[in-house]
Amino acid sequence: MLLTRNRVSTPVTRMRRLRLGGRSGKDAPMSALAQDGSFPGKLHHAVPSWVEPGAFFHVRIRVSHSFNSTLTNPAVARALLRSVCDYHTRCCWYCRLILLMPDHLHALLAFEQSSRMSEAIRSFKRAAARFQHVAWQDGYFDHRLRTLKELETTEAYIRRNPVAKSLCAEAEDWPWVWASGDTAVAW
C-alpha cells in the first residue's frame, strides 16, 4: 500500500486508475465501470504480442442454460469432435486435447501469432450453433500455460474431470475426448 495525497493506493486502485486513464471511479465514464463500481465482465481475448507462437492455452467454453441437450449427446459430441479435428487439420489452431462434458468443454489449444484466439473460438462456436444447434454462453475462459509442468498438470486435470463428476470410473473410459496424437477415433 502506498499513501498518495490523502488517499490509500493499493495495487487494485492503481490498476483501476491506469485502466481509466488516471481517473478515479467517480470521475470515470459509466462505460468503463459497471453500476456497482466493478469492471465489466467482458474480456478481450487477444494473445499478447510478447507471447511466443505456439503457447498453449487452457480454454473452457460453457453451454447456455437454454441449451436443451448436452454436449455429450452422441450426435452432438461426434459433430463437435469432427469440427475440432477439422480446425486442427486446417491449422486454425493446434489442439493438443479436447474433452466434452455435458455442459462445457475443455481444450488445450495453441494459436499462431498471426491468428487471433478470439476469432478462431468465435468461428468454432458460430459453426456449432449453426450446424449442431448448440447454445453457448457468451465468452469463454482462457489461461495461458507457462511451463511444461503446468501443461501436463492441466491435461491430467482435464482428463480426470469426468471421473471427478462421477460420469465414468476411469479417465480412459470417457468416450468424448480427442488428443492430437490419436490415430484411431471411436466417433
Cell numbers describing residue 71 = 454436449
Architecture of domain 56-179: 2-Layer Sandwich (3.30)
pLDDT value at residue 114: 59
CA distance 31 to 169: 48
Report helix, strand and coil shares of the chain as percent, to nearest 5: 30, 20, 50
- Give the pLDDT of the chain (187 residues) as one tens digit per residue: 444 444 443 443 344 444 444 444 444 444 444 555 554 454 455 666 666 767 899 999 999 998 888 999 999 999 999 999 999 999 889 999 999 999 999 999 998 865 688 899 999 999 999 999 999 999 999 999 999 999 999 999 999 999 999 999 999 999 999 998 754 444 4
pLDDT value at residue 6: 44
The total number of residues written for the chain in this structure: 187
Whole-structure pTM over 0.85, yes or no? no
pLDDT value at residue 182: 57
For residue 21, what is the DSSP state? T
Phi and psi angles of residue 63, each rounded to the nearest 5 degrees, phi first: -85, 160
Residue with cell 501443461: 151
- Start-end of CATH 3.30.70.1290 domains in the chain: 56-179
Residues 5-41 have pLDDT tens digits of 444 434 433 444 444 444 444 444 444 445 555 544 5
